[in-house]
Amino acid sequence: DTLITLAKQMPKTELHLHIEGTFEPEQMFAIAQRNKVELTYQTVEALKAAYQFNNLQDFLDLYYQGMSVLLHEVDFYDLTMAYLEKVNDENVVHVEIFFDPQGHTERGVPFDTQIKGIYRALQDAEKKWGMTTRLIMSFLRHLSEESAFETLAAAKPYLDWIDGIGLDSSELGHPPEKFLRVFQACKDLGLKVTAHAGEEGPPEYVWQAIEQIHVDRIDHGNRALEDEKLVETIRQKNLTLTVCPLSNLKLCVVNDMTHHPIKRMLALGLNATVNSDDPAYFGGYMNDNYSALIKGTGINKAELYQLAQNGITGSWMNKEQQQNHL
Ligand code: HPA
Ligand code: ZN
């Protein structure tokens, strides 16, 4: 299919990617072995067989289990570099990646160990391939706002390396307003902010992300489509949605790729982008996400270009950098 070839060849950005979600089972077992830690699953095959999720929480349980073998700076470096090598081969030219510091500090791995490994890999990718990168520190919303404040305090010496703040993990029962004050503190530090909203959570959570957190973009946002006034607000504010097709399928946000709302989002004038979220768990990186959309939803060439362009204009590159990519 020529459209799939086109999607593979075009320069792409990734704006919604959890670095811990790129942990491939093979690498997970290799790092577990060198760190002498036990995994619940005995083989790569057994682990892969467990990757069947009915909802977000099913996935998160395995996601936190998987990342628990990351102990040393070199582990974070190797994880990040493996991802960057993969997407460099897929013509991804700019990445904005999330990391979940509390997923590691909670197990006793210091903040600086994590960020030093991740940041060094990002720097190496910039030097080696001219890729451009941003780093987004994400708060776990199932934990307290106090814990988020502690994380922000740990990050203070590294703010030059951090471009923005995100909010992820279990959405239901943990509305954005729970983190109102910590996000205000982040904004006061000049950081960009985004939040997962409307993946499983109701439109009300997307409203809160916009009106209370004052997000610069919305991660997922699928359920915003249930509320006409919300759609209008997202369009008026020119907010970007970081949509993740294969993630939506694997977490049962959509029951079939033919039902994926990406075309509807574009038709409504929303700045939808294509991203891979947790590619090691959801069955594919950037090109697989584009392929799945092309096959499932029948997006046309104009829509394909619009999605790629939205990925540039919705990124946190400065205007001049964006212009160089358009
Ligand atoms: N949603 C919420 N939390 C997450 C996700 C996601 O898709 N991926 C990693 N943490
Ligand atoms: Zn996500």
Tell me the pLDDT tens digit for each residue of 57-85. Answer: 999 999 999 999 999 999 999 999 999 99
Ligand 1, atom 4: nearest CA belongs to which residue?
169
CA of 141 to the centre of ligand 1 (A): 10
Q: Which of 169, 171, 179, 251 to mutate to test the pocket of ligand 1 (most atoms within 8 A of CB)?
A: 169
pLDDT grade for 33, boundaries at 50, 70 and 90: very high
Map out the domains of the chain as residue ranges.
Answer: 2-314
Asked if 224 and 218 touch (Cβ cutoff 8 Å), the reply is yes
Q: Summarize the confidence of residues 226-243 as an average pLDDT.
A: 98
Distance CA 34, CA 251 (A): 31
278 is in an annotated binding site: yes
Q: Which amino acid is at 9?
A: Q
pLDDT grade for 142, boundaries at 50, 70 and 90: very high
Query: Annotated catalytic residue: which of 199, 200, 226, 228?
Result: 199
Ligand 1, atom 7: nearest CA belongs to which residue?
277
User: E strands within the chain?
Assistant: 12-18, 92-99, 132-140, 164-168, 192-197, 217-220, 240-243, 271-274
16 is in an annotated binding site: yes
Give Cα 35 distance to the centre of its chain. Answer: 27
311 torsion bin: left (phi>0), alpha (psi -120 to 50), beta (else) = alpha
CATH architecture of residue range(s) 2-314? Alpha-Beta Barrel (3.20)
Distance CA 116, CA 135 (A): 12
Identify which ligand lies nearest to the alpha carbon of 242: 2
**Cα dist. 319→22, 83, 133, 234, 312 in Å?**
29, 26, 15, 21, 10
Atom number, ligand 1, closest to the C-alpha of residue 63: 9
Asked if 192 and 214 touch (Cβ cutoff 8 Å), the reply is no
Identify which ligand lies nearest to the alpha carbon of 167: 1
Q: Which of 63, 67, 167, 243 to mutate to test the pocket of ligand 1 (most atoms within 8 A of CB)?
A: 63
pTM of the predicted protein model = 0.98
Identify which ligand lies nearest to the alpha carbon of 97: 2
Token pair for 82: 């493996």
Asked if 168 and 138 touch (Cβ cutoff 8 Å), the reply is yes
Asked if 75 and 145 touch (Cβ cutoff 8 Å), the reply is no
Tell me the pLDDT tens digit for each residue of 87-115. Answer: 999 999 999 999 999 999 999 999 999 99
- Determine how many CB atoms are found less than 10 A away from the CB of residue 230: 19
The whole-number pLDDT of residue 326 equals 87
CA of 31 to the centre of ligand 1 (A): 23
Residue 20 annotated in active site: no
Measured in degrees and rounded to the nearest 5, phi and psi for residue 98 equal: -85, 145
- The H or E element spanning position 280 is helix 279-282
* ipTM of the complex in this document: 0.96
Distance CA 268, CA 232 (A): 9
18 is in an annotated binding site: yes
Residue 287 has pLDDT above 90, yes or no: yes
Ligand 1 cavity residues, CB under 6 Å: 18, 21, 56, 63, 168-169, 196, 199, 247, 277-278
Q: Which of 168, 174, 241, 253 to mutate to test the pocket of ligand 1 (most atoms within 8 A of CB)?
A: 168
